[in-house]
Amino acid sequence: MPLPGSGDSSTGWKPPIPIKVKSDDGKTDLYGMMFRPSNFDPNRKYPIINNAYPGPQSGSVGSRAFTSARGDKQALAELGFIVVSIDGRGTPGRSKSFHDSYYGRMGRDNTIPDQIAGMKDLARQFPGIDLDKAAMWGHSGGGFITADAMFRFPEFFKVGIAESGNHDQRVYEDDWGERYQGLLEKTADGKDNYDIEANQTFAKNLKGHLLLAHGGMDNNVPPYNTLLVVDALIKANKDFDLLMLPNQAHGYGSQGNYMMRRRWDYFVKHLLNAEPPKEYEIKPITRPVP
């Protein structure tokens, strides 16, 4: 029997690698997972994709056990990427001060400075990472942080896929936004303290490639969240991509595989400068019962 964590010698599969990196303050340790291609070549450079969820009620990594490998992060890595997830300051499960790190600054922080610092530290530990081809994607709160990162740090993040993001807490559930951002208050300029945290406020800064996606029947994060960003991008004369999934709720249901394929294609095209297989169809694999 192979040792835990040694992988599967019959298929070449290896488990994700636990990582420890420094936060933006240069002192606090952050933890996460790194996924590499099974044919990883230490002599070449790989684009890095950060699959992020900023919380504050949860994090990117989950239990830090094998279950954190759920989803398509390994499949994405097999296409020729380094894929990481990092729990930045502001996520739960550690100290109260750690969790409160960006209270009241959801858009201005959103763990993004820690994500960038962590990715840079990881590149020092693993020279095969190409920081000139850094990308991010996420769903829901992960969609929020992805667009946020593309707008506020356009020199670092070159490609982003923001799925079903709650881009403006004023049009999301008040019991969530007020819990982590504080009560809405008018400011001296006639606006309010949520305006500076909303993604559409900074959409004009977009430089890279951004794909926005949303389910048309999302009853968790209303599609209007994404349309606010779309409107701001159009007014700023920015190029971007938009995918609406008709009749789908927050999780995309039967169109989930289509979204996954479009995600893979987007990164292959814009990070690897390669043409993905046209209209590749992801199908379930039937395995024999032992």
Whole-model pTM over 0.85: yes
* Residue 93 C-alpha from the chain's centroid: 20
Host domain of residue 80: 19-271
Q: Is residue 6 part of a domain?
A: no
| Residue 45 backbone dihedrals phi, psi, to 5 degrees | -100, 140
pLDDT at position 108: 87
- Give 40: exposed, middle or buried? Use CB within 10 Å, 0-12, 13-18, 19+: middle
pLDDT value at position 68?
Answer: 41
* pLDDT of 63 higher than 70: no
Residue 10 lies in a domain: no
Neighbouring CB atoms inside 10 A of 260's CB total 16
Q: How does residue 64 score in pLDDT terms, banded at 50, 70 and 90?
A: very low
Structural domain includes residue 290: no
Query: Residues 192-238: pLDDT tens digits?
Result: 989 999 999 999 999 999 999 999 999 999 999 999 999 999 999 99
- Pull the structure tokens for residue 47: 């684009």
260-271 pLDDT per residue, tens: 999 999 999 999
On the question of pLDDT at 76 being above 60, the answer is: yes
Is a pLDDT exceeding 70 seen at residue 145?
yes
pLDDT the model gives residue 3: 42
pLDDT average, residue stretch 2-18: 67
- pLDDT grade, residue 46 (50/70/90)? very high
Q: What is the pLDDT of residues 80-96, one digit of tens each?
A: 999 999 999 888 888 89
Does residue 2 form part of some domain?
A: no
pLDDT of residue 7: 60
Structural domain contains residue 282: no
Q: Does the structure show a pLDDT above 50 at 22?
A: yes
Mean pLDDT of the chain, nearest integer = 90
Question: Considering the domain boundaries, does residue 122 fall inside one?
Answer: yes
**pLDDT of res. 10:** 65
**How many independent structural domains does the chain possess?**
1
Using an 8 Å Cβ cutoff, are 90 and 109 in contact? Answer: yes
The answer to whether residue 273 scores a pLDDT higher than 60 is yes
Residue 116: CATH number of its domain: 3.40.50.1820
Residue 201 included in any domain = yes
pLDDT band at residue 6 under the 50/70/90 scheme:
low
**Residue 175: predicted pLDDT:** 83
Within-domain flag for 98: yes
